[in-house]
Amino acid sequence: MTDRLQVIWNKRLVGTLDRHKKGRVVFQYSQDWIRNESAPVSLSLPCRKEKFAPAASTAFFENLLPESNTRTVLAFRHRFGKKDTYAFLENFGEDCAGALSIIPADQDPDFTPGQYENITQELIEALDKMLVDPGRYKLYPEMRQAKLSLAGAQDKLPVYIKNTQFFLPKNSGSATTHIIKPINAGFNDIPRNEAFCMELAQRSGFSIPRSKIKKIGGHELFIVDRYDRQELNKEIVRIHQEDFCQAMGYPAEQKYQETGGPGFAECRELIDEYLSNKGATNRLLFIRMMIFNYIIGNHDAHGKNFSILHSNDFKLAPFYDLVSTQVYPLENKFAMAIGRTFRLDRIKNHSFEIFARDMNVRKKLLISLTNEMCEAVGNEVNGLMADHERSYGEARIYEDLNRVIQSNIVQLKTFFR
């Protein structure tokens, strides 16, 4: 146990994290990184010599960590507090979203590529346990040797996949390539739900990571390619990225607008400031995705479900975590207010007038984009349903998705008569 962690960006020391009170962290760039690279790990943490305050430092790095029950189970099993961000990063920071690896300061990084451990059988055994007692067992905590971290409340595990086998990296030089998500007892057929919505988005014109349903040991998994990984000269290279909450400096507990997080206006301001190299293209793309989420009934599109890729310049990342929450018996409230309301049943024509102002577009353009998206989705949904049923078998979830989508298309069109 140390009181300092190294933050590595593709084999280079970018800075350090010091332990602060109550498990918070303090970040500081290395002087060598500032002299030779000057690339920020976050738009909220621009390169500078001085240390960043605990609030700003913790907000960014805590957003790399799991949430909800997964976080609670991991903290209990490793005997530290579930709010101890430093301890989480120390134990699980070796392979995070984006390009960062976080390891103890007294540990020499091992950058040898291609070092993996086959966990296929262990994975099947964990899935077997989850099927018997889903309330007790979670996929990520069952993989006890995993030193990696993905943000979010949904149970998921980053892995390296080769042929039909699943692997975890043994060192910081070996990166994962895919994210797998198992069934969830509280949400029927959620792997098929996400696979359907992701492919529907791709067919409707969005940049989406490749994904599919795969069976292992009789269990269905949703598997998606990591867009923040690239194979180069037979080595998996990490590509840096951050979500909108990290870029704006919001802590993880404020990912929803209703709890103090970003809304559409703040997202548009971020896009206009950092992603306007293609004019208004990214802003219009973001609006199209908002309309798509409305159509499929994805009410959980919060600030952590949109990301920025850091490369030669800043780019809007491919869209991800597209799931219809409306097919489940949940409170139909959006993560970001449309107009001035979060409630689906309270959204009216004037809500979209306010939304158009928030996004700095004319209502006429918003109507045009909405009609385009309704037509694009409407043209694809039936064919995609048929394809999925041929590939994966019939399931009630497809009927539910079709019902929600058709209903929401009709509802959208009534707003703009």
> Which of 201, 232, 263 is the C-terminal boundary of a domain?
232
Sheet containing strand 241-243, strands side by side: 241-243, 307-310, 314-316
Q: What's the number of CA atoms in the CB half-sphere (13 Å) around residue 381?
A: 23
Tokens of 346: 């309270």
The pLDDT assigned to 143 comes to: 63
Strand partners, 238: 229
Q: Tell whether 214 is covered by a domain.
A: yes
394 and 257 part of one domain: yes
Which of 72, 104, 136 lies at the terminal end of a domain, its last residue? Answer: 104
pLDDT tens digits, residue range 30-58? Answer: 999 999 888 999 999 999 999 999 999 99
Indicate whether 38 and 73 sit together in one domain. Answer: yes
Could you tell me the pLDDT band of residue 233, with boundaries at 50, 70 and 90?
confident
User: Is there a single domain that holds both residue 250 and residue 228?
Assistant: no
Q: Which long-range contacts (CB under 8 A, 24 or more apart) does 118-122 make?
A: 118/165, 118/166, 118/167, 119/143, 119/145, 119/159, 119/166, 119/167, 119/168, 120/164, 120/165, 120/166, 120/216
Statement to judge: residues 56 and 87 lie in one domain: yes
Q: Tell the residue number behind the tokens 């209990």, with chain if given.
A: 76
Do both 361 and 405 map to the same domain?
yes
Q: Is residue 96 part of a domain?
A: yes
Q: Supply the pLDDT for residue 393.
A: 93
Q: How many CA atoms lie within 13 A of 27 on its CB side?
A: 25
Provide the b/e sequence for 175-200 (b: ≥16 CB within 10 Å): bbbbbbbbbeeebebbbbbbbbbbbb
- Residue 110 falls inside a structural domain: no
Is residue 41 situated within a structural domain?
A: yes
Nearest-Å Rg of the Cα atoms of the chain is: 21
pLDDT score recorded for residue 394 = 93
Please indicate, yes or no, whether residues 380 and 307 belong to a single structural domain of this protein: yes
Q: Does residue 27 surpass a pLDDT of 70?
A: yes
Helices (H), 337-395: 349-358, 363-392
Identify any residues that bridge with 242 across adjacent strands, giving them in sequence order. 308
Average pLDDT over residues 182-195: 89
Integer Cα distance of 139 and 156 in angstroms: 7
The pair of structure tokens assigned to 260 is: 């103090």
Taking 70 as the threshold, does the pLDDT of residue 141 lie above it? no
Q: Answer yes or no: is 141 within a domain.
A: yes
- Domain membership of residue 111 (yes or no) is no
| Together in a domain, 265 and 346 | yes
What is the total count of domains within the chain?
Answer: 3
Q: Which residues pair with 25 in a beta bridge?
A: 19
Residues 227 and 340 in one domain: no
Show which residues are catalytic: 300
Q: Give the mean model confidence (pLDDT) for residues 295-303.
A: 96
Structural domain of 47: 4-104
| Alpha-carbon separation of residue 283 from 3, 27, 101, 225 (angstroms) | 42, 31, 31, 25
Q: How confident is the model at residue 373 (pLDDT cuts 50, 70, 90)?
A: very high
Residue 109 forms part of a structural domain: no
Q: Is the pLDDT of residue 294 over 90?
A: yes
Assess whether pLDDT exceeds 90 at residue 134: no
- CATH code at 273? 1.10.1070
Distance in angstroms (rounded) separating the CA atoms of residues 18 and 1: 12
Distance CA 322, CA 263 (A): 18
Q: Is the pTM of this model over 0.75?
A: yes
Distance CA 206, CA 301 (A): 16
Give the 3-state secondary structure of residue 302. coil
Give the rounded distance of the alpha carbon of 38 from its chain centre. 26
104, 128, 159 — which closes off a domain?
A: 104
Task: Examine the domain organization and report whether 218 and 278 are in the same domain.
Answer: no
Contact (Cβ atoms closer than 8 angstroms) between residue 386 and residue 277 = no
Same domain, 323 and 214: no
Q: How confident is the model at residue 75 (pLDDT cuts 50, 70, 90)?
A: confident
Q: Which residue has the tokens 């995609």?
A: 384
pLDDT (tens digit per residue) in 85-130 = 999 899 888 888 899 999 999 998 888 888 999 999 999 998 988 8
139 within a domain of the structure (yes/no): yes
Residues 88 and 129 placed together within one structural domain of the fold: no
CB 306 within 8 A of CB 293: no
Confidence of residue 254 (pLDDT cuts 50, 70, 90): very high
Residues in the chain: 417
| DSSP string of 21-86, one letter each residue | GGG-EEEEE-HHHHHHT---SBTTB---SSPPPHHHHHHHHHTTSB-HHHHHHHHHHHTS-TT-HH
Residues 245 and 390 in one domain: yes
